[in-house]
Chain A
Amino acid sequence: MRKIQFNVLTLTLFLAVSFSAKAIPTPEAVEPAFDDDDNPTYIIKYGKGDRLKEDGTPLNLIQIKCKDQAVDMVSDDDLEACRADDSLVEMQYGWMDFATYKGWRAYHAECHVCHGPDAMGSTYAPSLMTSIQQGLSFDDWYAVIMNGRGEAEGAQKGNVMPAFGANTNVAPHVEDMYRYVKARADGKIRRGVRLPKLPKFKEVE
Chain B
Amino acid sequence: MSILKKSIIASAALALPLAVSANSKLEKMMKDPSQWVQQSGDYAGHRYSSLDQINKSNVSSLKVAWTFSTGVLRGHEGGPLVIGDTMYVHTAIPNIVYALDLNDNQRIIWKYNPVKGGKYPGGETMDRVISVMCCDNVNRGVNYHPNGTIVLHAADTSVIALDAKTGKEKWITTNLHAGTGKYGVSASTGSGQPFIIKDTVGVGCSGAEFGVRCNWTSYDIKNGKKLWRAYSMGPDKDMLVDPNKTTSMLKPIGKDSSLKTWPGDAWKIGGGSIWGFYGYDSKLNTLYYGTGNPSTWNPVVRPGDNKWSMTINARNPDNGMAKWLYQMTPYDEWDYDGVNEMILVDMKVKGKNRQALVHFDRNGFAYTMDRASGELLVAEKYDPAVNWATHVDMKTGRPQVVDRYSTAHQGEDVNTTNICPAALGTKDQQPAAYDRLSGLFMVPTNHVCMDYEPFKVDYVAGNAYVGATLSMYPAPGGTHLGNFIGWDADKGKIVWSNPEPFSVWSGAMATAGGITFYGTLEGYAKAVESKTGKELFSFKTPSGIIGNFMSYTHKGKQYVGILSGVGGWAGIGLAAGLTDPTAGLGAVGAYSALADHTALGGVLTVFALP
Contacts and interface: CB of A to CB of B under 8 A. Distances in A.
Interface of A: 4, 7-8, 10-12, 14-15, 18-19, 22, 24, 61, 64, 66, 71-72, 76, 79, 82-83, 89, 104-105, 108-110, 112-114, 116-118, 120-124, 127, 148, 150-151, 157-164, 166-169, 190-192, 194, 196-197
Given A108-B470, A123-B600, A15 B464 contact: no
A123 B466 CA distance: 21
B183 to A, nearest CB: 6
A71 B588 contact: yes
10 contacts: A7-B183, A8-B183, A15-B301, A104-B469, A108-B471, A116-B575, A120-B576, A121-B575, A148-B131, A169-B463
B579 A192 contact: yes
Nearest to B72: A158
B595 A123 contact: yes
Interface string B440-479: 0000000000010101111110011111111111000000
Given A18-B301, A123-B75, A124-B567, A169 B585 contact: no
Nearest to A1: B183
Nearest to A163: B131
B148 interface: no
A10 B471 CA distance: 32
Contacts of B594: 123
A14 B263 contact: yes
Given A14-B301, A116-B576, A169-B458, A160 B414 contact: no
A118 B131 contact: no
A190 B582 CA distance: 13
B73 interface: yes
B132 interface: yes
A111 to B, nearest CB: 10
Given A7-B264, A11-B266, A71-B585, A123 B566 contact: yes
B456 A18 contact: yes
For the complex of A and B, 8 pairs with smallest distance between CB atoms: A162-B131, A192-B579, A120-B576, A123-B571, A108-B469, A122-B572, A7-B265, A160-B130
Nearest to B589: A79
A102 B464 CA distance: 18
A22 B300 CA distance: 12
B435 interface: no
Nearest to A64: B585
A15 B589 CA distance: 41
Contacts of B268: 7
A198 B579 CA distance: 23
Contacts of A159: 130
A24 B585 contact: no
Interface residues of B, number: 69
B576 A113 contact: no
Contacts of A123: 74-75, 136, 544, 566-567, 571-572, 575, 594-595, 599-600
Interface in B317-334: none
A117 B471 contact: yes
A22 B413 contact: yes
A161 B456 CA distance: 24
Nearest to A169: B457
B220 to A, nearest CB: 30
A82 B264 CA distance: 56
B573 interface: yes
A24 B572 CA distance: 30
Nearest to B132: A162
B293 to A, nearest CB: 14
A118 B575 CA distance: 11
Contacts of A196: 415
B573 A61 contact: no
Given A191-B580, A192-B580, A110 B573 contact: no
B104 interface: no
A148 B457 CA distance: 21
Nearest to A172: B458
Contacts of A66: 585
B134 A113 contact: yes
A24 B455 CA distance: 11
B280 to A, nearest CB: 33
Contacts of A116: 572-573, 575-576
A7 B270 CA distance: 14
B566 A82 contact: no
Contacts of A76: 589
Contacts of B84: none
A184 B137 CA distance: 28
Nearest to B136: A124
Contacts of A191: 471, 579-580
B242 interface: no
Contacts of A122: 571-573, 575-576
A192 to B, nearest CB: 3
